[in-house]
């Protein structure tokens, strides 16, 4: 049963510290999405990668957030420096995008619950 | 403009009752896709179903069924003989054409009481 994995599952850090979240997409998937979920804003798309290329990061605060895909099996989301308002659950999702399939079905990882004190 | 409305913020039923979660969408595209996801208390988002705009057949999967009606722009989700394990927040979502962006509904919190 192929799944998206995310580490860490929980992270508590202090304001100003760097936070790195990791995601392993489902093998064979060519798209990766990063989302943030909060009670107030719901699910927000932060970044979108296709074939490891960043195609959309318009949802990310540029000054402190960065997302990369060093290889096809790893996506990272970094926050530096972290702030209390970054406290949220961060989800990674992956999918297989092809012209035959039309829209990509996104499969989500378990999330990283981030608390910034 | 595209939009997904889940008007029911919270539904509470007793186990074994049937329950329907409503989803109404707005789009100008003729090609679009509708999704349902489940988020149980443990927090993960679980994909349930995807339906494209050209396929109006209703879908049944065990106790779950989905009713897609283009005439009313609705894609409702029914759980038959609900169980406590069905307690979760359920999200309806829409994507248009080959657009990767999902437009999410606000979610319906479903509480199944034993």
Sequence-separated (6 or more) residues with CB below 8 Å from residue B49:
B35, B36, B59, B61, B64, B66
Q: How far is B25 from chain A (nearest CA, A)?
A: 16
Residues on chain A touching B41 (C-beta within 8 angstroms): none
Q: Output the pLDDT for position B56.
A: 85
Provide mean pLDDT across the span A104-114: 95
d(CA A36, CA A111) in angstroms, rounded, equals 9
Q: What percent of chain A has pLDDT over 70?
A: 97
Touching B: A residues 13-52, CB under 8 Å = 31, 33, 42-43, 45, 48, 50
Summarize pLDDT for A36-67 with one digit per residue, the tens: 999 988 999 999 999 999 998 889 988 999 99
Nearest to B7 by CA among B27, B23, B25, B26: B23
């Amino acid at each position: 049963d192929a799944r998206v994995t995310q580490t860490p599952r929980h992270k508590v850090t202090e304001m100003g510290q760097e936070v790195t979240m990791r995601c392993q997409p489902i093998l064979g998937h060519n798209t990766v999405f990063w989302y943030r979920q909060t009670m107030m804003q719901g699910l927000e798309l932060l970044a979108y990668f296709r074939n490891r290329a960043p195609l959309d990061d318009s949802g990310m605060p540029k000054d402190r957030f960065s997302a990369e895909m060093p290889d096809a099996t790893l996506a990272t989301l970094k926050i530096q420096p972290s702030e209390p308002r970054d406290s949220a659950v961060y989800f990674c999702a992956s999918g297989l995008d092809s012209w035959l399939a039309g829209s990509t079905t996104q499969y989500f990882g378990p999330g990283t619950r981030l608390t910034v004190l | 403009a595209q939009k997904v409305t889940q008007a029911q913020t919270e539904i509470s039923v007793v186990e074994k009752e049937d329950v329907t979660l409503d989803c109404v969408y707005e789009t100008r595209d003729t090609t679009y896709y509708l999704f349902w996801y489940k988020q149980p208390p443990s927090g993960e988002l679980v994909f349930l179903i995807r339906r494209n705009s050209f396929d109006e057949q209703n879908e049944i999967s065990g106790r779950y069924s989905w009713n897609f009606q283009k005439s009313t722009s609705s894609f409702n989700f029914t759980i038959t003989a609900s169980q406590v394990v069905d307690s979760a927040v359920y999200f309806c979502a829409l994507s248009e054409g080959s657009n990767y962006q999902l437009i999410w509904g606000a979610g319906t919190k479903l509480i199944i009481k034993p």
